Homo-oligomer: A and B are copies of this chain.
Amino acid sequence: MSADSQFSFDIQQSDAQTAARTGLLRTPHGTIETPNFIFCATKAAIKGVTTDQLREAGADIILSNTYHLLLQPGPDIVAAHGGLHKMMDWDGPMLTDSGGFQIFSIGHGWIADEIKGRRRIGAQGPGVKLSEEGARFHSYVNGEKILLTPESSIQTQRKLGADLIVVLDECTPFHVEREYTARSMQMSHRWAVRSREEFERGDDGTQALYGIVQGGVYEDLRRESAQFVAEQPFFGQAIGGSLGSDKAQMREVTGWARRHLRDDRPTHLLGIGGLRDLWEGAAMGIDTFDCVHPTRLARHGGALCRPWENDGKEHINIKNSRFREDLSPLDDRLIAPASRNYSRAYLHHLFKAGELLGGQLLAIHNIAFMTWMASEIRRSIREGTFAEEYRRWTGKS
């Protein structure tokens, strides 16, 4: 980072009892307060939500997936627009991932959650060939052979033009043994250095780079990886890879990684988006989160709600027949019209009638809800009530 960088991260308040802190993350497209949630515009679109609606719901920052955009429409077309911001009509901060997560989801036989568009990829999908150089795979759009390397991931992310970009890593799944995880982590570290060197070659001050901690579910590997990332001159740090098989393990693994990272860098937890998860992550000193959960849940009829008002549940299912005649809005204390101006009975009707508007309105509500909850996390840290709010939201002390 040069002295006149357009990026900075400044911690504002720290919680007395936990590692939770509020911060200001400054980018060329504006400053966001942290902790905060990053909404997923996977293929350069939040599914069913316009950027105007996103702004109206209060969202501060979004991300897009390099893997999908590399294949369709291709980085050169995005660059011709002047980048993703201009193409999508989003003028706030933005992050892109490296493409690694989706590619290795396929390579390891997963079905990547994100690949839910018209073209589905199953276990029989195009294989991924991995080498020190990078990952070779076939485009699901036109079958073209593609080689993604640390260098080409950074070059692609430069064309996409997000504010925050990340190094290419191999993302190993849960079921992989320790030895493979250790070897993979070492290669990811070498890729991280190559990513950083490529980043520095073209750095014009408009983007900032995050390193990523790997190491799977092994404490010593997570420590080693976190120490590596902390020692490298990255602007930000992210925790990636498999966080385990359940919520308890996720907290444990995140904790192992977080404690060896640097406190003065913005810290992102990749792919996590439950309500309790955000409180627990914030308590460990995580600053940003992302997940498709809020918008995907909406498409299936799930509307986020305050757990203590709903038997401890984090969402209601609007398709449930108990909402057929419920004239109350989803939550009239939120700012989004979708949360305030429509009855649950109407939203129930839209789902019953197969009207996509139902999923759209729920998505806007869920965005407003997540944005509001993130502001509640910040407020409670600022006001010294974090422990109390944490108990209310998680049901735990």
Residues of A whose CB lies within 8 Å of any CB of B are: 43-50, 52-53, 68, 72-73, 77, 80-81, 87-89, 117-119, 141, 324-325, 327, 337-338, 341-343, 345-346, 348-350, 352-358, 360-361
Are B345 and A77 in contact (CB-based, < 8 A)? Answer: yes
Are B327 and A72 in contact (CB-based, < 8 A)? Answer: no
> Which chain B residue has the least Cβ–Cβ distance from A89?
B341
CA distance A125 to B43 in the complex (A): 39
Please, which residues of chain B bring their CB within 8 A of the CB of A50? 53, 337-338, 357, 360-361
Knowing A87-B346, A337-B50, the reply to whether A353 touches B80 (Cβ < 8 A) is no
Please, which residues of chain B bring their CB within 8 A of the CB of A345? 73, 77, 80-81, 87
Knowing A73-B345, A77-B324, the reply to whether A117 touches B355 (Cβ < 8 A) is yes
CA distance A103 to B267 in the complex (A): 60
Are A43 and B353 in contact (CB-based, < 8 A)? Answer: yes
Are B117 and A354 in contact (CB-based, < 8 A)? Answer: yes
Question: Which A-B residue pairs are the 5 nearest by beta carbons?
Answer: A118-B354, A117-B354, A73-B349, A43-B353, A45-B357
> Which chain B residue has the least Cβ–Cβ distance from A340?
B89
Knowing A343-B81, A343-B87, the reply to whether A354 touches B44 (Cβ < 8 A) is no
CA distance A342 to B81 in the complex (A): 10
Knowing A73-B324, A354-B117, the reply to whether A337 touches B48 (Cβ < 8 A) is no
8 interchain pairs, CB-CB under 8 A: A44-B346, A45-B350, A48-B48, A50-B337, A80-B325, A81-B345, A89-B342, A119-B354
Q: Say how far A130's CB is from chain B's closest CB, in angstroms.
A: 26
Q: Say how far A12's CB is from chain B's closest CB, in angstroms.
A: 34
> Which chain B residue has the least Cβ–Cβ distance from A49?
B357
Please, which residues of chain B bring their CB within 8 A of the CB of A343? 81, 87
Contact of A68 among B141, B353, B360 (CB under 8 A): B353
Contact of A48 among B68, B73, B338, B356 (CB under 8 A): B356
CA distance A88 to B346 in the complex (A): 8
Are A355 and B45 in contact (CB-based, < 8 A)? Answer: yes
CA distance A49 to B355 in the complex (A): 10
Please, which residues of chain B bring their CB within 8 A of the CB of A348? 73
Please, which residues of chain B bring their CB within 8 A of the CB of A87? 342-343, 345-346
> Which chain B residue has the least Cβ–Cβ distance from A46?
B357
> Which chain B residue has the least Cβ–Cβ distance from A358?
B45
> Which chain B residue has the least Cβ–Cβ distance from A357?
B45
Are A45 and B80 in contact (CB-based, < 8 A)? Answer: no
Please, which residues of chain B bring their CB within 8 A of the CB of A341? 89
CA distance A325 to B75 in the complex (A): 12
